[in-house]
Amino acid sequence: MVKKKVKKKNKVNKVKKIIASLKKRKKSGMGGAGKFYRVVVRPKGEFNIFRNHDVGKKGHVERVAGQRVNGRWATQAWLIDKKEAHISRGVLIGDRKDVKDVLAKLRRKPRHLKGDVFEAGPRVNVSERSKPTAASSKGVPRKGAKRARAKNRTRNSVPSKKGAKAPDSSGKKVPAARRKKA
């Protein structure tokens, strides 16, 4: 009689072990116990290597940068301290100025996905009409720019060897014999 009870317990323990091994661990950010909200900007699959660094004060906002196959780096996600932001109606809202600035630069408001993970698009696309912006044109010398461009145009259009083809006013290359002399 005693031997049967031991066998039953062993079977029960084996079943419990099998069930426990089949359970997957929680993915990061799903438990809600972390220090940061994660705002995903681009899919993780686009990148090979990841690095994160502080933006502004230490530990408040961090940028997760990813390196693409071609070697260029881009922002994959933003990590925002839970003390610096709150959730309102499924949207992440910043409490401090630096957090508000980061969230304002995103293409759309960070929408709640699951756990501590939010989704938003990359930076707002700036139209070509509004370029160059004041920041990018700062320090660019405007004086003499037209003259320099005209000088480069004439320098590039003069043939280096006698009889070589040079562009016509229409843009076509014309042999030296048929070219009009100015």
Per the listing, tokens 């320090």 go with 139
Listed residue (32, 33, 66) closest to 47, CA to CA: 66
175 confidence band (pLDDT: 50, 70, 90):
low
List pLDDT tens digits, range 39-58.
Answer: 999 998 989 999 988 887 77
- Write down the pTM of the prediction: 0.55
CA dist., res. 152 & res. 157, Å (int): 9
Domain boundaries, the chain: 36-123
Which of 25-34, 55-64, 167-176 is the least confident region?
A: 167-176
List pLDDT tens digits, range 99-121.
Answer: 888 888 888 889 988 888 899 87
CA dist., res. 166 & res. 153, Å (int): 12
CA dist., res. 100 & res. 92, Å (int): 10
- Could you tell me the two tokens for 83? 């003390």
Is the backbone peptide bond immediately before 175 cis, with ω within 30 degrees of 0? no
pLDDT of residue 16: 76
Whether 24 has a pLDDT exceeding 70, the answer reads: no
